[in-house]
Each structure stands twice: as structure tokens, then as C-alpha cells.
Amino acid sequence: MAFVQGLELARLQARISTDQLTIADTRQGHPTFHFRPTLTIWSARIRPWLHGRGVKNHFENQKNPILCYRAVNLLNVKVFFMGPLAPVWLATVVFAISAMMVGLMVGTRGVHVAVTTRGHDLHAIQAAHTRPTPRVGGLAVVVAICCALLLGIPNFPKDRALLFIASLLPVFIAGLAEDLGYRVSPRGRLWAAALSSMVVVFFMGDWITESGLPGVDLLLAFAPFAIPVTILWTTGLCHAFNLIDGVNGLMGGVALMIALALAFMSHDVGYQPVMVTSLAVAAALAGFLMFNFPKGQIFMGDAGAYTVGHVLAWLGIFLAIRSEEIAGISVALLFFWPVADTFLAIYRRRASGRRHDQPDRLHVHQLVMRGLEIVLLGRGRRHISNPLTAVVLMPLAGMPVLAGVVFMDRPIWAALSVLIFAVLFVLAYRLGMAYVRHGRRGRAGRN
């Protein structure tokens, strides 16, 4: 599949979009360029570069030099933003949107804190903070991602971009309602996530078709099997990202690593839509993390966690099904940490006789945070143990991401990595539990 590359001026001149530049006949019979808006920024620097590549002669041979000059200015800007640096400029804009929106929310906290915090937050079982904190940081992240899709992703048609934005709505609305205290049950949020995935499957026509594993691929070739598996995978990932959103910087940091990994992998195989979109997601998350880590001035919230999980899950699927060099199991390996924590939570709750959707305080990040307080920091140091937990866990969560990138075209090695990391994850959790219990008994004995 051929993709438009950088500054191929001949193609670009032939494909100037009609919503920005149209040709009409003047009274003299010569072509005139009408466009909206008239953009002239950076033209002083770009025009000499364009002149050396034939753009000057193409336009200045026309009989209306003023209008043709304005058309060249527009083309300058279009080339500037559609060239090799387009992902950088788009990521910069997305980062600015996210950071400014989150900063505004933090700065006006006193105005909306009664609405954007849940009154029972500080007494929740999984609470890891000590003061009421707005939970709507995900709103800024989602708006920034949508802006990136609307501004234009190379080789990603606008109709598909709008459909993908529409797919975000069910899971985002359900999460935002929960953030604002309207009590949407975990099952309701899961159904909303499933509905979001159904929009992609049935309106965009995409689902998981290969994993890189021969036996599994035979089953995935059968659509009535592959479609439910796809919906289950993407819905589970939405919930998994929400489960690891328990301490400052952890969920945002893990999502940032996965987004950058997807960007690298898609760049390596030349698939621009996922590369640029992944960089935009990473930029939006970076703008949020400026205010979330380490002080936790604002939280991602369910709306952000669920929606980011949905976006990353589908970016991984888009990459795997459109690139023969990328194995689906390698993409799945990127998401190992949230998936492993989710499976552990389900097993732990079932083993203790509780419902799988009943919250507890035994997630990995909660175990590490309590271990730091019991063994090292002491009580009353939550403002230190909370961000320090993310610092401890980020390298561990990043190891499967790195393995997924290294083995992106080696499905057997990626599958073996999943098994190895699963064993190590369970062993580390058991050792951590034993260490915390031993430290608690030792502290009790000293007291």
C-alpha cells in the first residue's frame, strides 16, 4: 500500500483540497485562486525553498500575480504542515490544547471543585489521595485527541476520522457521568465500552483478523468468531486502563509508553495514520501529566481512562491488520501491564468469594504504595508514596512494551514473552504480599 510521502510537490499541487483552494475563471479567462482562509504565515522562509523546486514558475506564469502570490502562500503553509514535520507540528498543537485545558481546570479549581469531585472519593476503598481533587482531566485529553483527528491525519480519510470520533462518545459519556457522581455501574461502563467498539466494527469495518500465531489465525479468519473476540479485547482494555489509574502518573505514564511504542512500530513499517495519531495521543497525555504527576492536582477520571484505553486498543488493531510485518500478539504484548492487573483482580476477587466488579485495595500499585509506607516511609507520607509508586512501577510496566517493540515481527518470541512476563508478574505479586506482611508484623512488634 503506497502512502503519500513528505514533500512530493508534484502530487501535492495536484491534490490541494477543494475546501481550501478552488479554481474559477476570471473575466479575462485566466485561472484565479479563491481560498479560505488566506494564510501567509511562514511564507517568507518557505517561498525560497519552494522556488528552487518549481513552485514559483507554476503559479507566477499566471496573468493575475497578486492572487497567484496569495495562492503560493497558501500552498507554502499546506506543504509546511503536510511535509515530514507534520507529526511534530500536530503533536505540538495537541500538547498545547491539552496542557492549556488542564491548566485552566486546575487554575479554576475553586469554582468547579464541588461539581468535578465526587463527595465520597476520600472514603472510597481505592482512594490514594488526601484532598478533594477534580476528576475531569480526561476531558482535556479526549478533546485534544479529537482536535488532532479533525485537523487531519495523513492518509486517514475525514469520514473515517469522524466515525472514530463518534465511537468515543458512548464510553466517554458513561465515564464522565461516573466522574461527576451520577453512579454508572462498572457493568454499565463496560456496556458503553462495548458499544463504542461496535461502532468501529460495524461502521468502519475493522476487527482483529490475525495474531501471528497459526492456530489462532485460523479461528480469527472466521468473522463470527473474530468480531466478538475484538469487542471483548477492546472493552476489557478500556476497563483495564481504568483499574491501573490509582496513583499519580501511573495510568498516564503507561498509556504514554504504549502510544510511543505504537508510533515507533507504525513508523518502522511506514503506516502514517497510526504513527501520527499515536504521537498525538502521546502529546495529549504529556499535557495532562504536567499537572497530574507528581502532585496529583487533577485526575484522569473514568472518562479519560476508558476513552484512552479505547483509542489505544483500536490504534493497535489498525496497525496489526494493515501491516503484514506487525504481529497481533506483539501489539497485545504492549498492553501486558493493564491486562495482567485486570486478570489478577478478577482471580483475586473470585478466590475470596466476592464479585469480580467489587473494588478492593490489593491492586499492584496499591500493594507497592502500602509497602513503601509500611517498610520505608511510615504513615502520613501519602504525598510521597503516591507518586513514588509510579516511579517504582513504570520500569516494570515498560519492560513488556519494550519487548513488544523488539519482537514486533516475531510472533513466537512475543508469545513466549507473554508467558514469561505472566509468570514473573504473579511471582512478584506474591513476593510483594509476603514482604509487606512481614514488614507490617515487624513494625507492629517494634511498637
Provide mean pLDDT across the span 329-343: 96
Q: Please check whether residue 3 lies inside any domain of the structure.
A: no
Domain presence at residue 217? yes
Q: How many helices (H) and strands (E) does the chain have?
A: 19, 2
Q: Are residues 46 and 152 in the same domain?
A: no
Per residue in 348-389, pLDDT (tens digit) is: 888 877 776 677 777 898 889 988 888 787 777 888 889 999
Judgement on whether residues 387 and 417 belong to the same structural domain of the protein? yes
What's residue 62's pLDDT?
46
> pLDDT at residue 446 above 80?
no
Give me the number of domains the chain comprises: 2
What pLDDT does 87 receive?
A: 80
Residues 114 and 16 in one domain: no
Q: Which of these three, 24, 59, 82, is where a domain ends?
A: 82
**Nearest CA-CA partner of 315 in 92, 143, 131, 164:** 164
The reply to whether 353 and 378 lie within a common domain is: yes
Amino acid at 324: E
Looking at the fold, whether 377 and 333 belong to one and the same domain comes out as yes
Identify the bridge partners of residue 35 per DSSP, sorted by sequence position: 21
CB 335 within 8 A of CB 316: yes
Indicate whether 144 belongs to any domain. Answer: yes
Please calculate the CA angle 142-172-140 and round it to the nearest 5 degrees. Answer: 25
Q: Do 65 and 102 lie in a common domain?
A: no
Which residue has better confidence, 158 or 434? 158
Instruction: Give the single-character DSSP code of 18.
Output: T
Report which DSSP code applies to 156: B
Is 447 part of any domain?
Answer: no
Q: For residue 249, give the DSSP letter.
A: T
Give a yes or no: residue 111 inside a domain.
yes
Q: What is the pLDDT of residue 84?
A: 62
Does the pLDDT value for residue 260 go beyond 90?
yes
Amino acid at 264: F
Q: Is 370:288 a contact under the CB 8 Å cutoff?
A: no
Is 2 within a domain? no
CB 375 within 8 A of CB 440: no
Whether residue 322 lies inside any domain: the answer is: yes
State the Cα–Cα distance between residues 247 and 259, nearest whole angstrom.
20
For residue 277, the model assigns a pLDDT of: 95
The CA–CA distances, whole Å, from 267 to 255, 270, 271, 319, 369 equal 18, 5, 6, 10, 37
pTM over 0.85: no
Residues 311, 427: one domain?
Answer: yes
> What's the CA gap between 447 and 433, in Å, rounded?
21
Residues 70 and 175 in one domain: no
Share above pLDDT 90 across residues of the chain, in percent, rounded to a whole number = 54
Q: Do 96 and 60 share a structural domain?
A: no
Asked whether the predicted pLDDT for residue 312 surpasses 70, the reply is yes
Examine the domain organization and report whether 111 and 29 are in the same domain.
Answer: no
Residues 63 and 94 in one domain: no
- Mean pLDDT (the chain) is 80
* Residue indicated by cell numbers 496542557: 99
Between 157 and 404, residue with greater pLDDT: 404
Q: Which amino acid, one-letter code, is at 53?
A: R
Domain span including residue 354: 86-118+129-439
Domain endpoint, select from 25, 57, 82: 82
Task: State the pLDDT at residue 251.
Answer: 95
Is 386 annotated as a binding-site member? no
Residue 302 assigned to a binding site: yes
Say yes or no to pLDDT of 219 above 90. Answer: yes
Residue 258 in any domain: the answer is yes
Query: Do 39 and 160 have their domain in common?
Result: no
